[in-house]
Structure formats: structure tokens, C-alpha cells
Structure 1
Amino acid sequence: MPRTTPSPDTGPGADGIRSRRTVRRASRRRARHRRRVYLLCALAAAGALGAAALLAGGQDGADRASAAGGGATSSASTGKGRTQAADAGRHAAGRAAPSGKATGGEGATPGARGKGSDPHKTGNGVFHTAHATGKQAGTGTLRRYEVQVEEGTGIAPDEAAREIEGILADRRGWTADGHDAFQLVSQGPLDFVVRIATPDTVDRLCGAAGLHTRGEVNCDVGSQVIVNLKRWNQGSPEFPGPLHEYRALIVNHEVGHRIGHGHEACPGAGRPAPAMMQQIDGLHGCVANAWPYDAKGRYLGGPAVP
């Protein structure tokens, strides 16, 4: 009978051999699976670390931006505090010798409008004092004054001071009465200060005394003659003369209040309007005029307004 050589898979113990091979194959498959799992985990971990680093970097940048923004806000707040403190100090200096009166300016009229528009409506409330000084003009009671201009108005304080000095020293001005004298100073004792300010600042300073200038007109309050920048730059629609003449009317009208003059009305058609008349409200038949006296020393007055 032919001898048959058993096949490795069919001979005695074949099942055991197949079992061992199956175990080895399974073991190898598990090893490969573990390597794949390990590799995927490693890649996932690396990706997570990279994302975390990126996120941390982005958050750090956001934090820096936020910190920078907070710093800018703090700086702005601090600067505002300094401005307000400086403003308060200067206002206190301007009220060094309060007269206790508050007088509406040349035409405190709600509907008054100038020629054109003024871009300088709002200022920071900080005033710069002119360094210019002058000699006494006139005889009688001496009133020392200084001139201040609000920052950012584009007006040089010294130039404004010289123009105002010329107005108060003019022979048609208040020195013509022989009782009032004026002197421009930049330091030392003073009786009043002339301030040129933006409309909003005028409203604030005049409003503190209960006067309603509505961004349009001037006022005399405490020890301050407050000139509205809009009127200083644009004049008045009711005043056809040169701008310097209208500036003279502003100064003469407000200083007139300081030395005791009240409002006056038109004395008659065709006659010069009194400097103490609120000419911005209308001339009522009078001719526009900036001076309390004429060149011959005659007072250009009118009936007192109750």
C-alpha cells in the first residue's frame, strides 16, 4: 500500500500548526494596528500642540492689543483730567476780582446769526495770556486788564491784545469821559480780563452766571469780558462796517457794562446807534456805530432801556 506523506496541513498535528500560524498572523496584525494607532495618536498630539501654540499666540496678541487700547484710554482720561484742572485754574485766575455782576452782551438774541459759519465752535477751555503790556490810556480811575485767547482758535494772543489796547485807548472810546483809564498788563494785579473764546466755551462761562448766549454773542460776567470768537471773526449781519469796527463795538459795549453803563436804545432815525445799544438785534433806524463818543468828544447815547 503506497505510503502517503502527510501534508503539513493535513497530517497529524495539522490543527495545532494552523492554530500557531493563525496566532502569529493575528499577533502581527495587532502589532501593525498598534503602530498605526500610535502613529495617529502622535500626529494628533502634534497637531493639538501646534493649534494650542497658535491659539496662545493669537490670544497673546489680542491681550497686547487690549492692553494697548486700555492704555490709550487711560492716557486720554488722564489728559482730559489735566485739561480740566488747568481750565479750572485759569478760570479761577480770571475771577480773581469778581464784580458780582453778569450782563448780557451786545445783542443776546437767540436768532442772531453772523456772516457764514465758523469752524472753531468748540475749544478745550484752556486760555493763553498775552505777554504784551502797555501804558496807561486816559485819566481817572485806572483799570488794569489782560487779554487771554482760548487755545486752538488760531488767534495770536499778543496781536489780539494790541488790537484791544488800541480800541480802549482810542479818543472815541471810554477814555473820552475823563473819568476812566485803562492799561494792558500781562501780570500782577488786574481789574478784569478780556477773553476771546469759542462759542461753546462762551456758552459755558456765561451760562454759569445764568446768561444764555446760545453760541452767538458775548457777555460780561464776574471779572471777565468774554468775546465770542464767532463775532470776533465774522462781525454781525446788522453791522455793515469793517470787521475791526465791529470788534471795537464788542469791546466798547462789554467794557461799558463794566464801568457802569446799561443798554440804550436808538435816539432817532439816521443818528449813530449808541455803543451800548444791542445793535445785533437791529438798528431801528439808527446808523451802525462802534464808539461811545465821536471825534469831537460828544457822547453818542440814547434812551436808557429799562
Structure 2
Amino acid sequence: MAGGDRQRGPSRRGSRSQAARRRRRAQRRVRLLLTFTVLALLVGGVAAWWSGGSDDVADASAPTAAPAASSPVATASKDVSPSAAAKSPKASTSPSVTKGGGKSTSVPKSGPGTFKAGKGKGDGSTVGKGLIRTYRVQVEDGILVSADQAADEVAAILADPRSWAHDGKHGFRQVSSGSADLVIKIATPDTADALCLAAIHLDTGNELNCEVPGGVVVNLRRWILGSPTFTGPISDYRALIINHEVGHSLGHGHEGCPGPGKLAPAMMQQIKGLDGCKPNAWPYDSQGRYISGPHVT
């Protein structure tokens, strides 16, 4: 019995030793697993923070990124050079006059058909002598032409010593209100067409001015752009418009070119060509002589 007990003793001690080793190995595996898990969580959290995945960061960056795509500078650079883009506002606000009297600006094609009367600095004053005719200047609403400035410009044209007021037979007085013998209307092309067609059955084709009973209709396109056949400042072409149409109201008909190299009469339709004449805005020259040409039917 004693010998049997000695044989079984070492076996029990070996079993306990093996079980202890297994427990230690299991504990090491658990510790390693926990360590790897913690490290994985830490690395994942740091990576998420570094990549900017937070909602606050994304929202803060969105407003700054969106305007860059629709920036006015970026849009302009697709169509024009930077130097041209920088110059374009100046060209539109202060258009230059071309050789033909035109300007690098756009003219509205139509307007509301209502008008504002201009009150010039010389409102109520008279120029010339003889039969005095009252006149009023009206500008269509919303076309960016000052009615008061237009009234001043027309008054200066009629007061010029080369105008109709200095023929000794006619005078003009500007009135901003009340009745007037002559109403000068500056109108958009569509409105001018409608007024001329209704009054005298004339198709002005969005281009021409006309004289109507009791007034003059000035096409805004001609007032702003001038004519390609008329060289000189736009102020001279406006003088031609007023002198030509006022001349009709005084009973003057159309005249032709008197000869190559001579001044074109104010009553010549210079917009249709000069026929060898030199462009001219005035019915009289600086010596008070009437600039005439052959009658045109």
C-alpha cells in the first residue's frame, strides 16, 4: 500500500504543475488580447480625430469652400483677360465716343411709354425774335437720361448763333409745364416707332427720328449712339437731330448735298449718306448764311 502511495504522489504533483502552467498561459493571452484591444481603440480614435471627421470641423470649412467656386473673379477669368475685366466697369459707366459718333454702351429697346418733362436752367427764357414758339423737352421714364440735362442741351442748341433762332424770324421759349407749341420727346426705339407710326404713319424701323404734328420724336438710339455717317462729337449730332426736326416744324423740307466737299444742309437726311458732302449740324454757318441744297421730294 505504501509503495502504491509513493507511485501516485508524483502524478498528482505533475498534474497540478501542468494546470498552473495552463492558467498562466491563459492569463497571458487575456492580457495580450486586452492590450491589443486598447491599442486598437486608441489608434482608431486618434486616426478619426486627425482626419477631421468631426462634424464641427466639416461645417466650419463648408462656407469658405462654396464661395470660391462662384467667385466673380473666377467667373470673369473664364471669359476675358484680367486686364479687360478690370477695365469693363469704366467702359460701361463712361462710354467713349467713336469716330462715327457712336458710344460703347447699350441702348434700351423699349420703355414704359410715359415721359417726364425736363426743367432746364433757362426755363422760361427766350432766344431769337419774330414768331416765338414755346417748347418742352420730355424724356421717357426709366432710360437713364436726365430730363433736366436734356432740356439744357436742347436750349443750348437753339441758342447757338448757327441755329434757327438766329434767322430773324423765329424764336423759342422753353417751358417745363403748361401748354407748348412744340414737344420734343426722347424715346426708346420701340416707343419712337409707335409714336411716329400713330401720328404720321411712318415706319422708323427702330432707327430714325420723326417730326409729328405739335412735336418731335427723337429716337434714343440716335441720341446716344449718333450715326456712323456723322464724324464728330455726339453733341454735334444731337444738334443735327434738333435742328433737322425743328426745321420740319418750321416748314422746311428735305434737301440734298449741294456738291462734293461742301457742308451738308441740316435738312439733309445725313444718316442715309452724305453723297460727297461734309457732315454738318447747323442750318446756318458762322457768317449767318443759310446752308442749302437741292430740294428732295
Q: For this structure pair, what is the TM-score category when the shorter chain's length is used for normalisation?
A: 0.5 to 0.7
Partner of 1:223: 214
| Residues 256-275 of structure 1, C-alpha deviations (whole Å, 9 max, x = no match) | 00001000000001000000
Match of 2:203 in 1: 212
The answer on 1:157 being equivalent to 2:147 is yes
TM norm structure 2: 0.63
- 1:251 and 1:223 mapped to 2: Cα distance? 14
Q: Is the 8 A contact 1:115 1:237 kept in 2?
A: no
CA contact (8 A) 1:147 1:161 kept: yes
Matches of residues 141-152 of structure 1 in structure 2 within 5 Å?
141-152=131-142
**1:282 corresponds to 2:273:** yes
Per-residue CA deviations over 1:8-58 (Å, capped at 9, x if unaligned) read xxxxxxxxxxxxxxxxxxxxxxxxxxxxxxxxxxxxxxxxxxxxxxxxxxx
In the alignment, is the contact (CA less than 8 A) between 1:115 and 1:236 conserved in 2? no
Unaligned runs of 5+ in 1: 1-112
The alignment partner of 2:128 has SS state of: coil
1:130 Cα shift?
1.1
| Equivalences for residues 3-22 of structure 1 within 5 A | none
Q: State the one-letter code of the partner of 1:297.
A: G
Query: 1:168 is paired with a residue of what secondary structure?
Result: helix
Shift of 1:134: 3.7
Gaps of 5+ in 2: 1-100
Code of the residue aligned with 1:125 in structure 2: it is G
Higher relative contact order (CA 8 A, sep 6+): 1
Q: Is 2:120 aligned against 1:129?
A: no
Aligned partner (choices 142, 147, 156) of residue 166 of structure 1: 156
The amino acid that maps onto 2:142 is: G
- Length, aligned pairs only: 194
State the partner residue of 1:240: 231
Deviations 1:82-122 (A, max 9, x none): xxxxxxxxxxxxxxxxxxxxxxxxxxxxxxx9666733111
The percent identity for this pair of structures is 55
Secondary structure at the aligned position of 2:259 is classed as coil
> Could you say if the C-alpha distance between residues 136 and 284 of structure 1 is closer, same or farther in structure 2, counting changes exceeding 3 Å?
same
Q: Is the 8 A contact 2:133 2:172 kept in 1?
A: yes
SS of the residue corresponding to residue 231 of structure 2 reads coil
1:239–1:246 CA contact under 8 A, matched in 2? yes
TM-fit CA distance, 1:131: 2.5
* SS of residue paired to 1:241: coil
The 1:117/1:281 distance shift into structure 2, 3 A limit, reads farther
Instruction: Work out whether residues 202 and 218 of structure 1, in 8 Å CA contact, stay in contact via their aligned partners in 2.
Output: yes
CA distance in 2, matches of 1:198, 1:134: 27
In the other structure, the counterpart of 1:43 is none
* 1:120-150 C-alpha deviation (Å, 9 max, x unpaired): 1110101001123141100100000001000
Distance 2:126 2:157 in 1: 13
Q: Is the 8 A contact 1:267 1:286 kept in 2?
A: yes
